[in-house]
Structure 1
Amino acid sequence: MDISSRRIFQGDTVIWVVFFLLCMISLIEVFSAASTLTYKSGDFMAPFFKQLLFLGLGTGVAWFFHAIPCRYFKIIPLFFLPLCIVLLLVTLFFGSSENGGARWLDLGIRFQPSELAKGVVIVSVALILSHMQREEGADRRAFKLILTITGIVCTLIVSENLSTAAILFTTVFIMMFIGRVPMQQLGRLIAFFAAIIAFFVLLVTILPQKAIDEVGFLHRMETWKSRITSHTQETTNDTLFLQEHAQEAHANIAIASSNIVGKMPGNSDQRDHLSQAFSDFIYAIIIEEMGIFGALLVLFLYIILLFRAGRISSRCERSFPAFLTMGLALLLVIQAMINMLVAVGLIPITGQPLPLISRGGTSTLITCVYFGMMLSVSRYARKNDIPAQHDNPSGADSAEQAFHSNEGLA
């Protein structure tokens, strides 16, 4: 047995390094930023140990998935896609509300089905693109099947969590572009969604608030409208801005007071004023405490993850693991960029956590699953000398055939 086969953490070393660095930053900054949680619980170590528990479990989850040959991931859509649709439907009607949206489901444990659904959709899209590749590009039926699956999931998510649906749709769109889906189909899709967005903007502008509240799927539109309006409107009254837009204002103060070099971890002043300092605005706390170095470090870690995923994808003999790796990396990096843009005040508040850094249970564990799957692909990509016929076990083949048995209907 050689040394590499005895390594506990196999797969791409760079991705493992990125993973553990993000975990370390998470522990430091959650411990520092969770002062509001500390005040509520009366135990200043409770948020730290809870995050440590989730990251510890997440590391185990990542290791477990990285040990599974990536060809077995083809089985995931067959079982989990119907399950996710059911869970999203239940959440839509019976989910618990947080920040005005019913995003959580309590089945003994409290979790977000949308987090699970995102990954399942990415695996499904990767499977479809790989199965329907032709010499000239993806089969035109691939677009219809992908749009059906993504459309159903995004429709169930969008009314309660617009930003998550937008991130998922954007990721799938880029995957279709990479997968050589005909540009004519992608162009029509862009035009269609531009028309839909214009229609809803006009609808919100014309309809009175009472009418919007009475229409179930429009009840979150006023929230979206107010966030965009408050972000785009300028005010010369600093006191009024601080009162009406406390989160954005204190995030700006945190960044401005970093003085380039930062105040060092544990010395944040604005964490006591930001109710989501440990989640949505943790990047602002990172900048306040670690300065420009911390800001660039976090940014570069996600960029490195994306480029490393691209390199791994280019080394894959088969298209499914290549599409899967790029899809998961894009999903994480786009979400990270959205969080960072919100924290620095460039876009309206979305409620998206910073992957693997923000405090969280469901998001942390699911993100670790994504890392584990990418690491599994990196292990597969190193074994280019394995004969092609060994790539698909009978179980994965039968699952793939079952998943595509109705493709003619798409």
Structure 2
Amino acid sequence: MDSTMEISELSSVKETEERQDSIFSKIFKGDKVIWTVFICLSVISLIEVFSATSTIVYRQQNLWGPILRHATFLIGGVGVILFIHNIPYRYFSSLIFVLLASIVLLILTPFIGTTVNGAERWISFFGFTIQPSEIAKISLIGTIAFLLSKQNGENDAVLFKWMIGLTIVVCGIIAFDNLSTAILLFVVCYLLMFIGKVKFVRLAKVALAVIGLAAVFVFLLKVIPEDWTQKGILSRAGTWQNRIENFSNHKEETEESYFTITDENYQVAHAKIAISNGGLLGKFPGNSTERDFLPQAYSDFIYAIIIEELGFLGGVIVLLLYVILLIRGGMIARKVDKLFPKYLILGSALILSFQAFINMAVAVNLIPVTGQPLPLISRGGTSTLITCAYFGIILSADRFGSTKKKEEDAVSQNDEDNNANENDSDGTDVEVKNSDKSLELEEKVEFEIIRL
């Protein structure tokens, strides 16, 4: 009796688990690896942002305020993913209209924008603050992917002019106040065109032109008088000058000056201290000391805080998550049959992983300070939601872009149905078919009688 009850309980528990799994799979559709990477990054984000926002907590005198705000945006981001990954990829071609709207917002930002941390990159609407450059990034990548998918050998020249023209316009406007974002976006779009089999000659001409402009730009930064960079349209030029000079001259410094913390190297110095404090396993979450000294510890330099609290091992794990995202994105794009979702997946994976690599490189002082947040981990509003939108696009393109898998599933299902019909020895099916045929015959007869 007891064994029977145990078996019934086990079966009920198994049925409950299967029901829960089916509900979970119905809600969270798409590639499981992408979902796993997203969940891991979100958990790390909640832990590290809660630890790194000590300065905000001190200013606001509210322990839970900063993390609740960040958790709200992450929950909203999950809603964005669930919404987008149920939209067929063909509707993302409308991102070109979003791009036009974002260009207008980018033009208006210097005039009606809100200054945050010395930069006018945000626009406030009814108490909500948005970052037009983030909207422009995702819409430009979607537009480039759509135009690449429409190449047919005859319209390549026209489409290339549109692609490179839109890229130059958007990146040029962004560059006035956020040069690093403009460079990142241009590189991703350029790589997307290369993957999209744009003629090498055209890409080579663009590359030479960009190299020439970059050389002229660096030369102008060297010769522009310091007085010109104090205010006006060249106000950001002073910041670029300092970052390039500090990064290029650090090897020429003496030992004493190298270890002296000044206003120019304050961020980099405290980032190095945080990394050195981490060791192999770190000081564990909540025990960071540099979070109280490092500016933007919860955003631009959160990777240094991650290494301090989770150690070298934790830093490698975070790096591997973005590498997995990039590799998995390539694998998904490879199995997708249609060109548009293929380029959407590649563009989304490239922008997320490249931005993450830049943030990490800044934290360990491999490149000059750029101000790029760590996707999904850094504290943010618009950036968090747009990052989640990239994940949603990847999942949507994976679900709706692969027709081979669907055809194979349909063929296997038909084979199973045919085998079931052949192996069915019961005569009830035959009787049902015969009854159906007789009903159809009777209906035909009645129809002919009515006609007569």
1:69 aligned onto 2:88: yes
Aligned to 2:141: 122
Cα deviation for residue 204 of structure 1 reads: 2.2
Once residues 8 and 288 of structure 1 are traced to their aligned partners in structure 2, the CA distance between those partners, rounded to angstroms, is 36
Aligned to 1:283: 303
- Structure with the bigger percentage of helix: 2
Aligned to 2:35: 16
Q: Is contact 1:4-1:10 (8 Å) kept?
A: no
1:241 aligned onto 2:258: no
Aligned to 1:80: 98
Correspondence 1:2-401 to 2 at 5 A: 3=22, 7-77=26-96, 79-108=97-126, 109-134=128-153, 139-213=156-230, 216=233, 218-234=234-250, 235=253, 236=255, 237-238=257-258, 240-384=260-404
Cα deviation for residue 142 of structure 1 reads: 2.5
Count of residues in Structure 1 that have an aligned counterpart in Structure 2: 383
Once residues 298 and 206 of structure 2 are traced to their aligned partners in structure 1, the CA distance between those partners, rounded to angstroms, is 37
Match of 2:324, as an amino acid?
I
Look up the SS of the partner of 2:122 in the other structure: strand
Once residues 385 and 354 of structure 1 are traced to their aligned partners in structure 2, the CA distance between those partners, rounded to angstroms, is 34
Q: Is contact 1:204-1:221 (8 Å) kept?
A: yes
**Aligned-CA RMSD value:** 2.0
Match of 1:343, as an amino acid?
A
Q: List per-residue Cα deviations over 1:188-227 (Å, max 9, x = no partner).
A: 11111111111122222223122345762x3211111101
Closer, same or farther: CA 197–66 of 1 in aligned 2, 3 Å: same
Q: Is contact 1:328-1:374 (8 Å) kept?
A: yes
Look up the SS of the partner of 1:71 in the other structure: helix
Percent of matched pairs sharing the same residue: 46
Aligned to 1:408: none
Look up the SS of the partner of 1:358 in the other structure: coil
Closer, same or farther: CA 268–211 of 1 in aligned 2, 3 Å: closer
Closer, same or farther: CA 378–385 of 1 in aligned 2, 3 Å: closer
Look up the SS of the partner of 1:50 in the other structure: helix
Tell me: higher relative CO, structure 1 or 2? Use CA pairs within 8 A at least 6 residues apart.
1
Once residues 45 and 51 of structure 2 are traced to their aligned partners in structure 1, the CA distance between those partners, rounded to angstroms, is 10
Match of 1:326, as an amino acid?
L
Cα deviation for residue 169 of structure 1 reads: 0.1
Q: Which has the larger radius of gyration?
A: 2
Once residues 332 and 195 of structure 2 are traced to their aligned partners in structure 1, the CA distance between those partners, rounded to angstroms, is 15
Once residues 374 and 238 of structure 2 are traced to their aligned partners in structure 1, the CA distance between those partners, rounded to angstroms, is 25
Q: List per-residue Cα deviations over 1:323-348 (Å, max 9, x = no partner).
A: 01000110111100000000011111
Once residues 131 and 24 of structure 2 are traced to their aligned partners in structure 1, the CA distance between those partners, rounded to angstroms, is 36
Once residues 146 and 64 of structure 1 are traced to their aligned partners in structure 2, the CA distance between those partners, rounded to angstroms, is 28
Structure 1: which 5+ residue stretches go unaligned? 388-410
TM-score, length of structure 2 as denominator length: 0.81
Aligned to 2:16: none
Once residues 63 and 311 of structure 1 are traced to their aligned partners in structure 2, the CA distance between those partners, rounded to angstroms, is 22
TM-score, length of structure 1 as denominator length: 0.89
Cα deviation for residue 99 of structure 1 reads: 3.4
Structure 2: which 5+ residue stretches go unaligned? 1-18, 408-452
Closer, same or farther: CA 67–341 of 1 in aligned 2, 3 Å: same
Cα deviation for residue 301 of structure 1 reads: 0.6
Once residues 91 and 71 of structure 1 are traced to their aligned partners in structure 2, the CA distance between those partners, rounded to angstroms, is 31
Closer, same or farther: CA 346–105 of 1 in aligned 2, 3 Å: same
